[in-house]
Amino acid sequence: MEFKQQLEDVEKRFEALTAQMADPAVINDPDQYRKTAKAQRDLEEIVTTFRQYKKVVDDLEGARLMVEEKDPDLQAMAREEIARLEPAETELVERLKVQLLPKDPNDDKNVLVEIRAGAGGDEASLFAAETFRMYSRYAETQRWKVEVTSMSESGAGGAKEIIALVNGDKVYSKLKYESGVHRVQRVPVTEQQGRIHTSTITVAVMPEADDIDIKIDPKDVRVDTFCSSGPGGQSVNTTYSAVRLTHMPTGLVVSCQDEKSQIKNRAKAERVLRARLYELELDKQQQAMGADRRSQVGTGDRSEKIRTYNFKENRVTDHRIGLTVHQLDRIMEGELGELISACTTYYNAQKLREQAEKSQNGSENGDPAGK
């Protein structure tokens, strides 16, 4: 069984890595130990599931043998056990299939989140600020850290643009399907006749690049410093603490004025610039990979309308997966788990179907492995 052989190979690799972590040569090499520990940690979840699966299979085998006993009480117990274990076996198989899917190399990365007001004027800027609050509340539940690098406020108390870095465990894996156009339908505070208005904002979620991922030549970056400013352009302080970086080869411009220290602002701006350059590089790679790969990662298109938030009906609809939830009030308080889980499940199922089709096509063409 190819499926089981794959899992046994993963388990052997996990055990080998665990043994390496006890090797003095690895322990005394911090870089090697860190890499080994990360590789072992990446396999831990699937190995745990596989071991659960093997135990269920063994228990099922024992229960099926017990059904053949002459004692009616033992037979009844065995049938109850089989009725409990068979659904568990099916569920574990499905979970293992998902865990065997090729892992997105960016899943463990921190992210850069950019939220911008679109159509709708002040109402769009108000919703942009509320959406940022929603993600910040969700980040709190995940024990992530949110650092605002820049914010352009609107006169109505909203935000024309918010850029923030989110740091924590598996941030990109959970937020990567949030990129796109978010539409809000509600009666604005300024509306006198009670009419529902439709406004939009855009959300972009980009994996943060490491120094290893993107090398920036200092000669390619122009650095400008200026005084931080608040709404309406008034000066926040009189020191030149705000930093603007211009990447000459691409024309990308990044500003940061959140910190009082110019050094801290520059460090944050460099992280944002690196993330944007990394996204450009990923776009190039995905174009080169063709439509097949883009269909798997193309859910982050910023021009794609992904969700509608209808306040009158207390409803959120995700248009990509056909899911409607009548708990908008809770979602705006950061309870995004159901939406994020549903998107992950949907796209994993899509990948499994594509994998099965490729395998079937490969078999039909005489390649038993579907390669």
CATH number of the domain residue 89 falls in: 1.20.58
What mean pLDDT do residues 231-243 have? 59
pLDDT tens digit sequence for 5-21: 889 999 999 999 999 99
Contact between 361 and 367 (Cβ < 8 Å) = no
Residue 233 has pLDDT above 50, yes or no: no
pLDDT at 279: 83
> Which position has the higher pLDDT, 9 or 237?
9
Instruction: Say yes or no: 136 and 163 in one domain.
Output: yes
Give the separation between CA 327 and CA 231, rounded to whole angstroms: 33
pLDDT at 211: 65
Between the alpha carbon of residue 263 and those of residues 202, 240, 268, the distances in Å are 30, 11, 9
What mean pLDDT do residues 186-209 have? 83
Instruction: Say yes or no: 91 and 121 in one domain.
Output: no
* Domains of the chain: total: 2
Is 172 exposed, middle or buried, given 0-12, 13-18 or 19+ CB atoms closer than 10 A? buried
Instruction: Say yes or no: 32 and 115 in one domain.
Output: no
- Identify the residue whose tokens are 């970086």: 245
Of 24-28, 221-225, 242-246, 366-370, which gets the smallest average pLDDT? 366-370
Does residue 339 lie in a domain region?
yes
Residue span of the structural domain in which 125 resides: 111-350
Instruction: Say yes or no: 274 and 333 in one domain.
Output: yes
Cβ neighbours for 104, distance < 8 A, ≥ 6 positions apart: 172, 173, 176, 297
- Considering just the CA atoms, what is the radius of gyration of the chain in Å? 26
Cβ neighbours for 269, distance < 8 A, ≥ 6 positions apart: 149, 243, 244, 245, 254, 255, 256
Give the separation between CA 10 and CA 62, rounded to whole angstroms: 26
Q: Give percent of the chain with pLDDT exceeding 70.
A: 85
- Identify the residue whose tokens are 């056909």: 322
Q: Give percent of the chain with pLDDT exceeding 90.
A: 50
Residue 287 has pLDDT above 80, yes or no: no
* Tokens matching residue 172: 């990109």
Which is nearest to 116 in space by CA: 42, 201, 40?
Answer: 201
Q: Where are the beta strands (DSSP E) in 66-110?
A: none
Instruction: Say yes or no: 146 and 90 in one domain.
Output: no
Instruction: Say yes or no: 48 and 187 in one domain.
Output: no
DSSP conformation class of 208:
P
Instruction: Say yes or no: 127 and 241 in one domain.
Output: yes
pTM over 0.85: no
What mean pLDDT do residues 202-227 have? 83
Quote the Cα angle for 304-306-311, to 5°: 135
Q: How confident is the model at residue 267 (pLDDT cuts 50, 70, 90)?
A: confident
Instruction: Say yes or no: 195 and 313 in one domain.
Output: yes
> Which position has the higher pLDDT, 206 or 226?
206
- Identify the residue whose tokens are 């609050």: 133
Instruction: Say yes or no: 315 and 194 in one domain.
Output: yes
Phi, psi of 219 (to 5 degrees): -65, -20
Instruction: Say yes or no: 169 and 298 in one domain.
Output: yes
Which is nearest to 335 in space by CA: 138, 51, 187, 45?
Answer: 138
- Identify the residue whose tokens are 């308080």: 333
> Which position has the higher pLDDT, 290 or 225?
225
- Alpha carbon 353 to chain centroid distance? 21
- Alpha carbon 326 to chain centroid distance? 23
pLDDT tens digit sequence for 243-262: 889 999 999 998 888 777 88
